[in-house]
């Protein structure tokens, strides 16, 4: 079986490739990645040169390249992790987000349709649902309406809708997963946990938006990879699955946990003006994934955060 993983040199795609290469010996993986600033080829170093793994540098918006790759490789499965992913960047300039996250998905869908792939899986996000009030205790289900609050999440929601339309119009076989925040090794330092860890390591101030009251849910990236594998191989075609560990924490409390783990001072916290349109709380209902696919996360937040911290401490050259 041949699988194309796009964006596989990024934080989550590389975890997925490392996982599948161990759990599914029968799967041949081709990774297509444009190698943007967010990628890190060291995340794939254990696989380079190994049988059953091929890396190709290229952009999913490059229609000629994508079509010739599909023609040559005849993929069974496409898993799309490729995207521009940092909300703050999308607020400064949305155009790369529209290109990669919408146009690029359109190119992959056209190639998937033309070459008759058996499953197109889109890695989407909880952010497509918009946010919940801080005091709310409810969670979004897969049937909640899409209500994105920033250009990044709007581009991801647009991609989800494009996929649903290709299913209805052309019967394209798909699944979509929508996950809460991931954390773990090899994440770019622009994101909250690596940003705070690397700044703590240098005794630099820790910028926290507003009062840090926004609530996020977190799942370890390796648990996310296991969930995507289950959806791909056991999930129902034409379905959307939410992915979460159920663990939620205010940003300020997360920063304080990292301060405590590193033995630094809370005086390093520096409250900065809020992100425009900052989503308040994300929370996903994951009954569907649990009930249909018996998925439950295996890494607790406490354990995962300590592991992630010690990974960054050991690999500080990777995160500078
Ligand atoms: N990080 C999270 O917490 C989170 C949560 C839910 C969903 N997601 C989604 O998961 C996916 C992966 O996220 P991540 O955190 O690993 O992102 P990342 O920014 O770490 O990696 C993205 C990868 O995609 C590649 N890429 C970007 N544009 C490309 C293009 N046009 N063509 C080919 N490659 C391209 C980059 O080079 C990079 O290797 C994204 O689709 C994101 O929307 C992320």
Q: 45-91, pLDDT tens digit by residue? A: 999 999 999 999 999 999 999 999 999 999 999 999 999 999 999 99
165 Cα to the center of ligand 1, angstroms: 22
Can you give the pLDDT at residue 215?
Answer: 96
Digit-coded pLDDT (tens) for 84-133: 999 999 999 999 999 999 999 999 999 999 999 999 999 999 999 999 99
d(CA 12, CA 187): 8
DSSP state of 147: -
Pocket test for ligand 1, best of 10, 41, 98, 100 (most atoms within 8 A of CB): 10
Q: Give residues with Cβ within 8 angstroms of 284, minimum separation 6.
A: 126, 129, 139, 140, 178, 179, 180, 217, 242, 243, 244
Q: Is the CB of 35 under 6 A from ligand 1?
A: yes
How close is the Cα of 189 to the center of ligand 1, in Å? Answer: 14
17 lines ligand 1 (CB under 6 A): no
Best residue among 30, 85, 127 to mutate for probing ligand 1, ranked by most atoms within 8 Å of CB:
85
**Sheet strands (E) in 126-195:** 174-179, 181-183
Residues above pLDDT 90, as percent of the chain: 97
- Please spell the DSSP secondary structure of 255-300, one letter per residue: HHHHHHHHT--GGGEEEEPPPTT---B--B--HHHHHHH-----S-
pLDDT tens digits for 272-281? 998 998 989 9
61 close to ligand 1 (CB < 6 Angstrom): yes
Ligand 1 within 6 A of CB of 184? no
- Report, as an integer, the average pLDDT of 282-299: 97
Ligand 1 touching residue 39 (CB < 6 A):
yes
Q: Decide if pLDDT at 227 tops 90.
A: yes
Taking 50 as the threshold, does the pLDDT of residue 319 lie above it?
A: no
Q: Average pLDDT of the chain?
A: 97
As a whole number of angstroms, the distance between CA 180 and CA 224 comes to: 9
Query: Contact, 36 vs 43, CB < 8 A?
Result: no
Q: All domains of the chain, ordered by start, with CATH?
A: 2-186+220-245 (3.40.50.720)
Residues 185 and 305: beta-carbon distance below 8 Å: no
Question: Is 127 an active-site residue?
Answer: yes
Strand (E) positions, 89-173? 119-125
The protein residue with its alpha carbon nearest to ligand 1, atom 18, reads 10
Q: Is 123 in the pocket of ligand 1 (CB under 6 A)?
A: yes
Q: What is the pLDDT of residues 181-201, one digit of tens each?
A: 999 999 999 999 999 999 999
Q: Whole-model pTM?
A: 0.97
Respond yes or no: is residue 73 known to be catalytic. no
Beta strand pairing call for 215-220 and 247-250: antiparallel
Choosing from 33, 40, 59, 127, which is the catalytic residue? 127
Cα 262–Cα 267–Cα 269 angle in degrees, nearest 5 = 80
């Amino acid at each position: 079986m041949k699988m194309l993983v796009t964006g596989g040199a990024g934080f989550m795609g590389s975890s997925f490739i490392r996982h599948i290469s161990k759990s599914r010996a029968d799967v041949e993986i081709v990774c297509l990645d444009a190698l943007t600033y967010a990628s890190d080829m060291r995340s794939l170093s254990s696989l380079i040169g190994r049988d059953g793994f091929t890396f190709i540098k290229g952009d999913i918006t490059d229609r000629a390249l994508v079509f010739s790759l599909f023609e040559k490789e005849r993929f069974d499965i496409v898993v799309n992790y490729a995207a521009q992913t940092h909300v703050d960047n999308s607020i400064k300039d949305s155009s790369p987000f529209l290109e990669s996250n919408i146009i690029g998905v359109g190119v992959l869908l056209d190639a998937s349709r033309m070459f008759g792939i058996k499953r197109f899986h889109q890695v989407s996000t909880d952010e497509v649902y918009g946010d919940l009030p801080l005091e709310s205790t409810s969670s979004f289900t897969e049937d909640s309406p899409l209500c994105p609050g920033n250009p990044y999440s709007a581009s991801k929601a647009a991609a989800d809708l494009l996929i649903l339309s290709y299913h209805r119009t052309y019967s394209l076989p798909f699944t979509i997963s929508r996950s809460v925040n991931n954390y773990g090794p090899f994440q770019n330092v622009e994101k909250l946990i690596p940003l705070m860890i690397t700044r703590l390591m240098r005794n630099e101030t820790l910028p926290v938006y507003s009062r840090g009251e926004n609530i996020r849910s977190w799942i370890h990236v390796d648990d996310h990879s296991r969930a995507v594998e289950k959806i791909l191989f056991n999930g129902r075609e034409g379905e959307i699955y939410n992915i979460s560990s159920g663990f939620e924490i205010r940003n300020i409390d997360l920063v304080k946990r990292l301060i405590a783990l590193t033995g630094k001072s809370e005086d390093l916290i520096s409250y900065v003006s809020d992100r425009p349109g900052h989503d308040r709380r994300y929370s996903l209902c994951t009954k569907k994934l649990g009930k249909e696919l018996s998925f439950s996360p295996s890494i607790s937040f406490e354990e995962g955060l300590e592991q992630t911290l010690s990974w960054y401490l050991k690999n500080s050259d990777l995160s500078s």
